[in-house]
Structure formats: structure tokens, C-alpha cells
Amino acid sequence: MTVLLEMKDIHKVYPNGTKANQGVDLTVHEGEIHALVGENGAGKSTLMKILFGLETPTSGEIRYKGQPVTFQGPRDAIKQGIGMVHQHFMLVPSLTVSENILLGDELRKGFFSLFRDRKRELTEVDQLIQRYTLKVDPQAKVEMISVGQKQRVEILKVLYRGARLIILDEPTAVLTPQETDELFHSMKELVKENYTVIFITHKLREVMEISDRATILRAGKTIETVQTKNSSQEEISKLMVGRNVLFRVEKEEAKPKEPVLKVNHLTVPDDKGLEAIRNVSFQIRAGEIFGFAGVEGNGQTELIEAITGLRKIKSGQIEYLGQDLTEKTVAQIRAMKIGHIPEDRQTTGACLTSTISENLILDCCRAKEYRRGPFLEQKKIKGFSQQMIKDFDIRVQNEDALAGSLSGGNLQKVIIARELSKNPKLLIASQPTRGVDIGAIEFIHREIIKKRDEGTAVLLVSAELSEVINLSDRIGVLYNGEIVAILDNSTPLSEEEIGSYMLGIKRQEQEAVAE
């Protein structure tokens, strides 16, 4: 067993002060599948970007095949035989599969080698596909093929360039279970031919199923590297989260009252017109937190957009305090004391080129008390902004600072301040703590629970299963656009229990789901 790659004491501090890696060690053996595990924000992606030459480390050493190496860019890493399949595909949609595989390394012929040798290109790609049994039509345009096939194209791209070490960044996040199985099969085939695979994930089941060894990262540090077969999901999950489970939120038992939101047989199309949400029904009552668990892309985004009026529905009802929301405009819905923390704070939740104050007054600029005739009451707005900055502990000089200059946590606090300050009867929180530092996470969780105790109905969506479990009083599981289970969480459920619903393995009876 020879050591292929060693990364020692890697530190990475971003210009904005984020410490993504604080002393990470990683040793990868030749011919193994090595899982890199950790929660979101643990530093996995940063580490791999450093390895692939996309980021330069602040300090630390990388040894590849026993030699110390430094990569200025991806090109250097590729030359050394390192390839990366990014989480977001790097493909050109209108080009064919083979054109994408060969992009930048085309085979040439003719006058001054100016032309493409399309015949030879096709045979080479065909051979490549045959050899690794990664089935995909080389002449199909990439925009026409499925997600699983796109991923194969990415892997073929990496193989074509002669990579021996292949980094897969959360490859299963976008795949169906069958596609995941096929991917795992291909990975095993590759390892048989003595390729090495680094597999980034936060899904423990996959770690157990496919990897030989696993390195666990937490908060930018290496916690441990384990032999998978000598370990268990429980052990790894403990290492991932830490012994004394962080973010365990103190909360009293919920005292739910009257229903605030009733969703009945709702069907919502996605951007392509396919049904992203199918015949979904649920209720949320005042004073409870209803959390949605589910692998991302199972309809969560579309569901929330439908409730908040941002997306047209196909059929069904959305009833809020006795009023039908489906025909209402976004402005009307926002005026009905519905708060919405959107999943993407950079592009949707905030306007980075505007001031904090301008970000805070999105709703109150419509309210009468902030206006005199056509004009906005500047003094009141200023007072309101300063109050919000104080109440929500937004760390900033003053209300005229640009939102774009804030850190992730502080920006999220601006959004939360805006959405909570209108005393919502219904609060919709989508990924409320994504990419936010620990201090801010605790603060945000406390605020959400405080609102619940004041009688707000809360709809929570999070990719962090632990967050859903910690906060929610009841949990709905979304799988492939449907609610497959609605579970009582008054005594916290285990991740495994919910996980089997999330993966579509288990499913409650229809009546139970429909309540």
C-alpha cells in the first residue's frame, strides 16, 4: 500500500477572514476510495480546491507521489494526473458529448493542424467509453442527456486527460438512487484498475457502502481517519458532529394552536414545466415548527416559491388563515404577515449593492407610518434601521454601510431582522443558517424558537438534517416531489429513521401523510 498523496497542516484563510482550513491533514493511498466526510462548512471543498490548484493554501505542504508540489492552476494539477469532477457540472450544453470530453485537447489534422479530426475524435471517445463502461452517446448534445450521463461525461473528461487521482465533489447530490448505484459501480471498476478516488460527501450510508477509508473533517480541522470496515455510521457521525453535539437547541415543548397554513393537494411545476411538487398536503399550526427534511432538489424550493407567490402553481389550494394565497401577488402575500427567509441570501434575500437600511425597509416602505405623502420618512427609517441593528446584533458601523460588505452571518441577520420585525404569523425559513458561523447559527435558532413561542407558525427547510431535527416539532419528508412521511418530533428522531424516508426506501401509508 503506497502513499499517493499527503496534505500536511493545510491552512486557508480567505481575504474576508473566513478560516476554511485550520490545520488539515489528509493521506490517501494508491488504489483506494477515500471518503472525505464532514458537515457543510467543515472545509472539504476548500481542501479539494487547494489540491486541484483552484485555491492556493495560506500555509501547509502537499506531497504527491512523494514529491512536494505546488499547483498554480487546474492545468498544473491535471498535468500531474489529478482530475476533479465538480459538484456543478462544467459542461458546454450545446456541444456534443465527445466535443465536451475533448475540449481544449482536440485532435487536429490538415493544414497547419487547423482542423478537427472528427473521425479520430469519435473513435477515441468510443474507445474510452468502452474501456470504462461509462455508457453515453458520444454524438448527443450535452443539453439533451440526463444528469447521470452528464456526470459520466465529467468522469470521462477527467480520464481522457490521464488522471490517476480523481476527486468527486458530492457526486451523489444530484443523482437518483439508481444513478448513484451505477456511479458506485464505475468507481469500483476504476479502483480495480488502480485508480485512486477521493469522494466528498456528507451522506454516511454512502461512506459505508463505497469507501475503503474515510477522513472526517470538522470546523476546518482533521478529526480522524478511519478504516471504514472497522467503523460504523454511529462512530463517524459522532466524529462529524463532535462529542458534545453542537447546536443542540434548548426549547420547551410546543403548544400548537389553530392551523395557520393549510396546503391541500398542491402540485407545482418547475422551470421546465415538470412537476416538482406533486399532490402535497400538510398543515402548520400557530406555535409549532414544521420542518421539511429531504435531499436537496426534491421540490423544497418550488414548494416555498409557490407558498410565497413567487411561482405559479398547477393545481391545489394554499390556505392561510382562511384566505386563499394562490391568486395573490407577492406583495399582497408579504403584506399578510408572512415572513420569508429565502434560501439564497446573496442573490434573492438581499441587495448587496444597497445599504443595510435599504435592505431592511423592503416591506415597511409600503407601510403608511413610514411615508408622508409620496415621500419616505427618512428619520423613522433611520430609527428603525438602528433599532434592528441593535436588536439583532448586526455587527456593522452604521445603517449606511453596504450590505455587500457584511459577512455571511451578519447579512443573514439583516434578512432575519427584516422578516421577523413584521411579527409574522407564518415564518418560512429556507436554509436559514447555510454557510453561517456557529455564533450566528445559535442566534438564528434562538430567534426562530422565540417566534414559535410567541405563536408564529414556522415552516423550516434545511439541507442540514441535524438542524431540522433540532428545531422542528413535526417533520415532513419530501422525496421526489411528494411528502412520504410526516413524523412527530416531540422527542427527537434519529437521523437514520428520517434518512430511510429521505432516500425513498420507506414510505408512510397515504392516510397518515394526508392526516
Partner 1 sequence: MNTRKTLTLELTGIIGAALVAILLGIIIIYIVSEEPLTAIQSLLLGPISSAFNIGTVLNKAVPLIFTGLALAIVFQAGVFSMGAEGQLYMGAFVGALAALYIPGLPVWVHLPIIFLAAICAGAIFGAIPGFLKAYLNTDEIVTTLMLNFIAILSTSYFVNNIFKDPASGGYARMQYIASDLRLGRIVEGFTAHYGIIIALATVIVIYLLLYKTKFGYELRMVGQNSRFAHYGGISTKKIIILSVVISGGLAALAGIIEILGVHGTFKDYFSINLGFDGIIIALLARNHPFGVAVAALFYAYLQVGAQLMQGASDVPRELAVIIQVILVLLVSSQAIFTFLRQKYLLRQGR
Partner 2 sequence: MIQAIWEQVLNLTLFVVLLRVTVPILLSALGGMISMVGGVVNIGLEGIMLLSAFSSIAVGAATGSWLLGVVAGVIISILVSMLMGFFSIKLKVDIIIVGFAVNILGSGLTIFLMNKIYGLTGNYSPEQLNRIPSIHIPFIEQIPIIGKLLSGHNLMVWVSIIAVFLCLVLLYRTPHGIHLRAVGESPEAAASLGISVDRMQFIALAWSGLFAGLAGAYLSMGMTSMFVKDMTAGTGFIALAVVMLGGSNPVGILIGSLIFGLGSTITTIVQTIPGNQIPSQFVQMIPYVVTILALIILAIRKKKKQLELTSQSTTQS
Site residues (vs partner 1, CB under 8 A):
308-310, 329-335, 340, 342, 347-355, 358, 361-363, 365-366, 371, 374-376, 378, 397-398, 400-402, 405
Q: How far is the CB of 76 from partner 2 (least distance, A)?
A: 9
| Of 14 and 115, CB closest to partner 2 | 115
Q: How far is the CB of 439 from partner 1 (least distance, A)?
A: 24
Which residue type, as a one-letter code, is found at position 468? V
Phi, psi of 319 (to 5 degrees): -115, 130
| Of 16 and 178, CB closest to partner 1 | 16
Out of partner 1, partner 2, none, what residue 141 binds, judged by CB under 5 to 8 A for its kind, is none
Out of partner 1, partner 2, none, what residue 95 binds, judged by CB under 5 to 8 A for its kind, is partner 2
- Number of residues that this document lists for the chain: 515
Out of partner 2, partner 1, none, what residue 330 binds, judged by CB under 5 to 8 A for its kind, is partner 1
Q: What is the DSSP string of 1-16?
A: --EEEEEEEEEEE-TT
Q: How far is the CB of 349 from partner 1 (least distance, A)?
A: 7
- 470 burial type by CB count under 10 A (0-12 exposed, 13-18 middle, 19+ buried): buried
| Of 140 and 352, CB closest to partner 1 | 352
| Of 116 and 238, CB closest to partner 2 | 116
Q: Kindly state the DSSP code that residue 403 receives in the 8-state scheme.
A: G
Out of partner 2, partner 1, none, what residue 86 binds, judged by CB under 5 to 8 A for its kind, is partner 2
- Pairing verdict, β 259-269 and 59-64: unpaired
Give the C-alpha separation, 80 to 164, whole Å.
9
| Of 30 and 363, CB closest to partner 1 | 363
C-alpha cell recorded at residue 20 = 476554511
- 46 burial type by CB count under 10 A (0-12 exposed, 13-18 middle, 19+ buried): buried
H-run or E-run covering 419: helix 408-421
C-alpha cell recorded at residue 97 = 458529448
Out of partner 1, partner 2, none, what residue 353 binds, judged by CB under 5 to 8 A for its kind, is partner 1
Binding site for partner 2 (CB under 8 A): 73-75, 78, 86, 89-95, 99-100, 103-106, 108, 114-116, 118, 157, 269, 272-275, 314
Q: How far is the CB of 308 from partner 1 (least distance, A)?
A: 8
Contact assessment for residue 117 and residue 108, using Cβ atoms and an 8 Å cutoff: yes
Q: How far is the CB of 54 from partner 2 (least distance, A)?
A: 9
H-run or E-run covering 388: helix 378-391
338: left (phi over 0), alpha (psi -120 to 50) or beta: beta
Q: How far is the CB of 23 from partner 1 (least distance, A)?
A: 26
Out of partner 2, partner 1, none, what residue 91 binds, judged by CB under 5 to 8 A for its kind, is partner 2
Out of partner 1, partner 2, none, what residue 99 binds, judged by CB under 5 to 8 A for its kind, is partner 2
Contact assessment for residue 447 and residue 439, using Cβ atoms and an 8 Å cutoff: no
H-run or E-run covering 450: helix 438-453
Q: How far is the CB of 78 from partner 2 (least distance, A)?
A: 7
Out of partner 1, partner 2, none, what residue 147 binds, judged by CB under 5 to 8 A for its kind, is none
Q: Is 151 helix (H, G, I), strand (E, B) or coil?
A: helix
Query: b/e string for 315-337 if b means 16 or more Cβ within 10 A?
Result: ebebbbbeeebeebeeeebbeeb
| Of 103 and 336, CB closest to partner 2 | 103
Q: How far is the CB of 311 from partner 2 (least distance, A)?
A: 12
Q: How far is the CB of 335 from partner 1 (least distance, A)?
A: 8
Out of partner 2, partner 1, none, what residue 432 binds, judged by CB under 5 to 8 A for its kind, is none
